[in-house]
A and B are shown apart, each in its own frame.
Chain A
Amino acid sequence: MPATDTAAELRDVTKRFGAFTAVDHLDLTVPRGSFFALLGPSGCGKTTTLRMMAGLEQPTFGNVSIEGRDVTGVPPHKRPVNTVFQSYALFPHLSIAENVAFGLRRKREPDVDRRVAEALALVELADLGDRTPSQLSGGQQQRVALARAIVNRPAVLLLDEPLGALDLKLRRQMQLELKRIQTEVGITFVHVTHDQEEAMTMADSVAVMNRGRIEQLGAPEELYELPCTAFVANFLGQSNLARGTVVEVRADGALGVDVAGTRVLVRSDRAATTGGAVLVGVRPEKITMLVDGQEPVPGQNVLGPGVVTDVSFTGVSTQYQVEVPGIGTFGVFAQNLAGAATVALGAKVHLAWAARFTFALDGREDATEGTTDVDDEP
């Protein structure tokens, strides 16, 4: 088997269920040893992609390789891949120890008892080997599922929304645990989730998927600070998007964009296109509000004036909604440094932010892609 830096690779993979295309001409490379996240809303095809890596689904077209070897068409029990299922899928009629030993026994590996004990110690469940799954809590079951997969030292460990059933505090805890275990053991993890905070906290690289395609792939910071589609801009955190037209290309490499009469500067390497209609974007935590008399700092873009229409104190921050005529409603997050909201409801403010944080998307995009609506199905 050729040594390779790629743990898993999907080449031009398409999966159709009847008339419905779940995965559409997908290309994906998972680097060895990384913690890789597949992030997207439900129905985007991320679970299907995972199942194709596991062999539980077969692609309609395209190839799947694990560690350089083409495994398209190879059944799951012959692939060096293990899965942690969303429902954990622990065998109810076997003890915890026997659950964890299951894969080792099927492959007739030596030294089963020692390796099982090791795996259980890794997930901090060392004394529970004799219990049955029904006697364990949800969090414990999840860790058994992880141990059961890890003990086999697979080339790729697949996790299908494993933390979905846990409550918030436990989920946070498990996120850190999973990250720690992955670093310790060094196995490639591919983690499927719809929770963007989870993906950004845990993963080295994130692939954002929508409607069967990868919208953007990169490190969490890259994706967050420089989204290249409206979907990524809205799905990861929140974005303020405003329509404008490029009116000048400056010598220093910045683009001047006319947004409802105001000039906004964007670095050309942070813009999806250098001419025509664009969607100018900035993250809410980057914006400061200028009240009466306050002057912007050089190097800032300014929009306004607008009216504050909502003030929500969340403890860590205060979230404002500011309505700017001709542009729409912008959200502003202000860190709680003063102990209370600093700007009052109804105040007239200007919005200012450092120009280097602006990004620009193709103007033909739908600015609401990736946002959720009350009427959306859960």
Chain B
Amino acid sequence: MRARLGRALVPTMALLGIAYLLVPIAYTVAFGFNTAGKTNLVWRGFTLENWRNPCGAPQVCQAFVNSLRVGVLATVLATLVGTLLAIALVRYRFRGRSAVNLLIFLPMSTPEVVIGAALLAQFLSLRVELGFWTVVAAHVMFCISFVVVTVKARVASLDPALEEAAADLYATPVATFWRVTFPLLLPGIAAAAMLAFSLSFDDFIITNFNSGSFTTFPKFVYVAATRGIPPQANVIGTFMFVLAILLVVASQVVTSARARRRRR
């Protein structure tokens, strides 16, 4: 009997833990349906009005669009640069490899406050105007490291003999890259791009330090928190959440379908 209780301990704690993780999400989603007053802190009643009119609150949609623009641009640039770095680090042996590894690792281990402050200090000294471009520049910077880590794992799992085989079969280095390396790296690159986008979209601290009067979605929510967050913000949050879950589930379905086809 005691053994059975003991065995139930871990799953129980795990389920409680997962519930703990999901409760705030439930609140966020739920309060998107709230008939909110000014503050949307207390549940008043269910309504679909917020969903019908997601841009009803001033600035919500503008902030959302800003975050999207920054996210897309930063993702494209960071993924491009990071992929090149990852390939160089795995495929080539050169002096200074550890130093490069370290340089890429440092932004990930530096607190966001410090990065934000450092960039701000730099922009202030150079009297650069804070806004869209400074935010993009900052986002690209901290996304690069994460892209490198993700793509590096994928490159490392790629049999180097494949590229040798391509060269052996008359493919020039350029042809080898486009016809063999790139298609095989694509899943890793896609994963890195998704990671970069979500980091960029959700970033607050670094953005806050470097955006001046330019508002992104997290910044809007933070500033609104003192007065009262409009439920439309919850709507957008819920929307992004559902989108992300769908993407993850879709990619899982695709991978398992591919695996099942292979096993045949």
Chain A interface (Cβ < 8 Å from any Cβ of B):
54-56, 75-78, 81-83, 85-87, 89, 91-93, 102-103, 106-107, 132, 134-135, 148-149, 152
Asked if B48 is at the interface (CB within 8 A of a chain A CB), the reply is no
Tell me the chain B residues, 60-76 only, with Cβ under 8 Å from chain A: none
A132 touching B262, Cβ below 8 Å: yes
A92 touches B184 (CB 8 A): yes
Give the shortest distance, in Å, between B93 (CB) and chain A (any CB). Answer: 11
In the complex formed, the residue of A with least CB distance to B158 is A92
Within the complex, the shortest CB–CB distance from B264 to chain A, in Å, comes to 7
B171 & A89 in contact (Cβ 8 Å cutoff): no
Q: How far is the CA of A56 from the CA of B168 in the complex (A)?
A: 8
How distant is the Cα of A337 from the Cα of B211 in the complex, in angstroms?
A: 93
Tell me whether A76 and B164 are in contact (CB under 8 A): yes
CB distance from A11 to the nearest CB of B (A): 23
Given contacts A85-B161, A93-B183, contact A135 B168 (CB under 8 A): no
10 contacts between A and B (CB under 8 A): A82-B169, A83-B165, A83-B168, A85-B161, A89-B159, A89-B164, A91-B180, A102-B169, A106-B170, A149-B168
A-B contacts, CB under 8 A, total: 64
Q: Which residues of A contact B173 (CB under 8 A)?
A: 77
Complex-state Cα separation, A247 to B170, whole angstroms: 61
Contacts of A54 in B (CB 8 A): 168
Q: Which of B11-45 contact A (CB under 8 A)?
A: none
Instruction: For A152, give its contact among B169, B175, B183 (CB under 8 Å).
Output: B169
Are B262 and A106 interface neighbours, CB within 8 A?
Answer: no
Assembly CA distance A132 to B167 (angstroms): 21
Contact of B171 among A55, A77, A81 (CB under 8 A): A77
B149: Cβ under 8 A from any A Cβ: no
Q: Which residue of B lies closest to A54 (CB)?
A: B168
In the docked arrangement, what's the CA distance between A138 and B183, Å? 24
The answer to whether A87 and B167 have CB atoms under 8 Å apart is no
A89 touching B167 in the complex, CB below 8 Å, given contacts A134-B262, A135-B264: no
Q: Are A91 and B264 in contact (CB under 8 A)?
A: no
Nearest chain B CB to A210 CB, angstrom units: 26
Could you say which residues of chain A place their CB within 8 Å of the CB of B180? 91
Which chain B residues border A89 with CB–CB below 8 Å? Answer: 159, 161-162, 164-165
B172 to chain A: which residues have CB within 8 Å? 77, 106
- In the complex, B166 has a CB within 8 A of chain A: yes
Residue of B nearest to A86 (CB): B161
In whole angstroms, what is the CA distance A81 to B168 when docked? Answer: 7
Question: Which residue of A83, A87, A93, A148 contacts B159 across the interface (Cβ within 8 Å)?
Answer: A87
* Residues of chain A with a CB closer than 8 A to B166's CB: 91, 102
CA distance A83 to B180 in the complex (A): 17
Report the bound CA distance from A132 to B258 in whole Å.
11
Q: How far apart are B107's CB and chain A's nearest CB, in angstroms?
A: 33
Q: Which of B167, B169, B173 has the most CB of A within 10 A?
A: B169
A54-B168, A106-B171, A135-B264 given; A87·B161 CB < 8 A: yes
Q: Quick one: which of A76, A83, A107, A135 contacts B262, CB cutoff 8 A?
A: A135
> B176 to chain A: which residues have CB within 8 Å?
77
Please give me the 8 A-B residue pairs with the lowest Cβ-Cβ distance, nearest first.
Answer: A103-B169, A89-B165, A89-B161, A106-B170, A76-B167, A134-B262, A83-B168, A77-B167
Give Cα distance in the complex from A55 to B264, angstroms: 38
Check A75/B167 contact, CB under 8 A, given A91-B162, A93-B184: yes
Per-position binary interface string of chain B over residues 165-193, scored 1 when its CB falls under 8 Å from any chain A CB and 0 otherwise:
11111111101100110011000000000
Q: Distance in Å from the Cβ of B35 to the closest Cβ of chain A? A: 53
Give A152 to B176 CA distance when docked, in angstroms.
18
Contacts of A85 in B (CB 8 A): 161, 164-165
Q: Is A106 a contact of B175 with CB atoms below 8 Å?
A: yes
Taking a contact as CB atoms under 8 Å apart, the answer to whether A148 and B169 are in contact is yes
Question: Hey, which chain B residues are within 8 Å of A56, CB to CB?
Answer: 164, 167-168
Q: By the criterion CB–CB under 8 Å, are A91 and B165 in contact?
A: yes
Question: Shortest CB–CB separation between residue A281 and chain B, in angstroms?
Answer: 40
